[in-house]
Amino acid sequence: MALRSAAAVGRAVEPIPADMDVSPFTVLDVLQITQDLQRLAESGAAITLYPPGQVSYVLGRLGEVDGAAGKIVFDPVGEPIVPTGEQLFVALQGGTKYQFVTAWQPEAPGMSARRMAMPLPQRLVKLQRRRHMRQNAPIGLPFQADFGFAGRAYSLSVVDLSPGGVGLRASPKEAGRLVIGRRLPQVRLWLGDGIAIEVDLEIRSRFLWRTYLLGEQYLIGCSFPALGADDEAVLQAALARLNRSMGAAAE
């Protein structure tokens, strides 16, 4: 059903700049795309539609996300006239910007849109800005993450650490299944001095870079979905030790 008031939906969200490389933030897994869009629909998040060839936008919400049928339904405010073609959708929730493109075909040219049924997008961009300053893990210290995933054991070096998450280094072979949106349960995170905490990690980004010694490597950016008070205290103590050691090295 068409929504009556734009004010009741929320504010418009600007698209991600066209010249930005969004490949590290792009989700291609159909199940993950479905789950992310379902969360947007269930929360009633404001969705901004940018129709092709127009400077104006249309506000609305996702009224339905059906992964089995491979479709979504966008409920716009009012009954706008939306031209045929690829539609750009943008949303902002919990510090993460979501953006996707899918095609719309009205029943008749020039017909107003009430409920816009469209194919499930094939890709979804999830752009999250870091909320915390990162502290680099010194080379040579035993900062690492040990976990099992998809029938395989992993032991990845920690590149950086913050109160909100951790950056891990992986080879191309190791990074194969470590895609954006995956949750890694029961990760044993070693923080130096034989100290470790067990946490869940959610993969938020992945970058490919080339090093002189190791060749191609991936930086896997992860967040802590839920960090208990005791584990948070241990993490803060580890960050404090890193800060002190970096300060001593600078002197």
- 192-220 mean pLDDT: 82
Q: Does residue 206 surpass a pLDDT of 50?
A: yes
Closest CA to 141 of 195, 79, 72, 214: 195
Q: Does residue 12 surpass a pLDDT of 60?
A: yes
Residue 151 CA to residue 177 CA, distance in Å, equals: 11
Name the pLDDT band for 94 (thresholds 50, 70, 90). Answer: low
- Cα-based distances in Å from 202 to 14, 90, 126: 26, 22, 13
Name the pLDDT band for 213 (thresholds 50, 70, 90). Answer: low
205 touches 160 (CB < 8 A): no
Mean pLDDT estimate for the chain: 84
pLDDT for 222-244, tens place per residue? 999 888 899 999 988 888 887 77
What confidence score (pLDDT) does residue 49 get?
95
Domains in the chain, ordered, with CATH? 6-128 (2.30.110.10), 135-250 (2.40.10.220)
Q: How many CA atoms lie within 13 A of 89 on its CB side?
A: 29
Residue 128 CA to residue 76 CA, distance in Å, equals: 26
What confidence score (pLDDT) does residue 251 get?
41
Lowest mean pLDDT among 9-18, 26-35, 45-54, 133-142: 133-142
pLDDT for 16-39, tens place per residue? 988 888 877 888 888 889 988 998
What confidence score (pLDDT) does residue 250 get?
38
Q: Which residues make Cβ contacts (< 8 Å) with residue 15, sequence separation at least 6?
A: 50, 88, 90, 99
| Percentage of the chain modeled with pLDDT above 90 | 36
What confidence score (pLDDT) does residue 248 get?
41
- Model-wide pTM > 0.85: no
52 touches 86 (CB < 8 A): yes
Q: Does residue 7 surpass a pLDDT of 70?
A: no
Token representation of residue 218: 């991936």
Closest CA to 121 of 95, 142, 90: 90
pLDDT for 63-80, tens place per residue? 999 999 999 999 998 888
Q: Does residue 135 surpass a pLDDT of 90?
A: no
Q: State the DSSP string of 46-114.
A: -EEEE-TT-S--EEEEEEEEETTTTEEEEEEBS--B--SEEEEEEEEETTEEEEEEEEE--SSTTPBPS
What confidence score (pLDDT) does residue 21 get?
80
- 34-52 mean pLDDT: 90
Q: How many CA atoms lie within 13 A of 187 on its CB side?
A: 31
